[in-house]
Amino acid sequence: MLDFIYYPVSAILWFWHQAFGYVLGKNSGFAWALAVVFLVFTLRLVLYKPFVKQVRTTRQMQELQPQIKELQKKYKNDRQQMTVEMQKLQKEHGFNPLMGCLPVLLQVPVFLGLFHVLRSFNRTGTGIGQLGMSPYDNAHTPNYIFSAGDVQSFLTARLFGAPLSAYITEPAKVLESFADYGGVPSKLVIALVSIPLMVIAGVATHMNARASVQRQSAEAAANPQAAMMNKMALYVFPLGVLVGGPFLPVAILIYWVSNNIWTYGQQHLVFGKIEKEEEEKKQAALERRAQNAPKPGAKPVDVRKKQSATKVEDADTESVEDAPQSSQSGAKPSPGAKPAAGKKRSGNRGRANQKRRR
């Protein structure tokens, strides 16, 4: 049903195993472990741009929290209008809340795909996703892109004595399927490899969540829903790794550790880049403000007065320019028309009028 995920995941894993197997040996546990690590790096590199978009969207939402709260307060009794106003606000600032969780949503099918492909190297167990095959049939049946020889190579590979598809709580009957391919591993050896990976994965998950929470604004952290999600990310998710670790194959734990290492480095890189861009914008705004400010000792210019004076001068100039045109054309002014602006009345005519009034 999910072959469109299983085949691409197995193809990337096959490619990196071929690369590292050429150097370290086809049956090397380190070659398979590095193939899993670089599978993670490849997929996270593909998701790099969506991750950057997620960070920018999250920061935009934090900046708009005051406006969002105002809308919620204003339209608390009108859900429909509040939805319309929220959509309008999102459109004005050009962001989509879905981008805030898209990278996480895209990683879920990848994780499930890798989990299924790794479990399919040993299909001797029973239960969900298992076929109950015999050890011989399992070793001679291809696994998506991997040939039967690749399946046997994976079963033979050991990381400090532990098969990559084995886990602490794996039934003894399933462990016996490794007998012809490197021997039956003990649960103690599997635990000695799995537990340190579980602890590292749990600590890395906590550190990533801590770095993310510290970058949140005070208003965003004060939100009850955000505060609850922060506590889950800081404590519940890392604890979930420790609780679920005994049920996860060694290769999945390697995936979890490498994924957290990539996330930690990528967060510092992306957040540092965005903070640098914001600092440059602030400096540019300060420089523009400094250029527009009056020099020391100079009187500030009232822009409104300057604009009104300019309008008056323009009106006088237009009236003066219109007067000569009317005289040159030879047209006489109509009776009762006011004299054109820009022409002065003679002083004698004014005195004669004054004498008549007297």
- Inform me whether the pLDDT recorded for 1 exceeds 80: no
Nearest to 184 by CA among 198, 172, 195, 196: 172
Structure tokens at 254: 């390697």
Q: Which residue has the higher pLDDT, 335 or 279?
A: 279
Whole-angstrom Cα distance, residue 324 to residue 319?
Answer: 9
pLDDT band at residue 331 using 50, 70 and 90 as cut-offs: very low
User: What is the SS3 string spanning the chain?
Assistant: CCHHHHHHHHHHHHHHHHHHHHHHCCCCHHHHHHHHHHHHHHHHHHCHHHHHHHHHHHHHHHHCHHHHHHHHHHCCCCHHHHHHHHHHHHHHHCCCHHHHCHHHHHHHHHHHHHHHHHHCCCCCCCCCCCCCCCHHHHHCCCECCECHHHHHHHHHCCECCECCCCCCCCCHHHHHHHCCCCCCCCHHHHHHHHHHHHHHHHHHHHHHHHHHHHCCCHHHHHCHHHHHHHHHHHHHHHHHHHHHHHHCCHHHHHHHHHHHHHHHHHHHHHHHHHHHHHHHHHHHHHHHHHHHCCCCCCCCCCHHHHHHHHHHHHHHHHHHHHHHHHHHHCCCCCCCCCCCCCCCCCHHHHHHHHHHHC
Does the reported pTM lie above 0.85? no
pLDDT band at residue 311 using 50, 70 and 90 as cut-offs: low
Q: In this structure, what are the phi and psi dihedrals at residue 142, rounded to the nearest 5 degrees?
A: -60, 160
Q: What is the mean pLDDT of residues 134-154?
A: 90
The answer to whether 144 touches 117, Cβ cutoff 8 Å, is: yes
How confident is the model at residue 358, as a pLDDT? 47
The answer to whether 254 touches 33, Cβ cutoff 8 Å, is: yes
Whole-angstrom Cα distance, residue 190 to residue 250?
Answer: 8
Per residue in 203-241, pLDDT (tens digit) is 988 888 888 777 776 666 666 777 788 788 888 888 988
Structure tokens at 94: 């050009």
Name the packing angle between helices 3-24 and 29-46 (round to 10°): 130
pLDDT band at residue 189 using 50, 70 and 90 as cut-offs: very high
How confident is the model at residue 14, as a pLDDT? 94
Percentage of the chain surpassing pLDDT 70? Answer: 73
How confident is the model at residue 214, as a pLDDT? 78
* Average pLDDT over the chain, rounded to an integer: 78
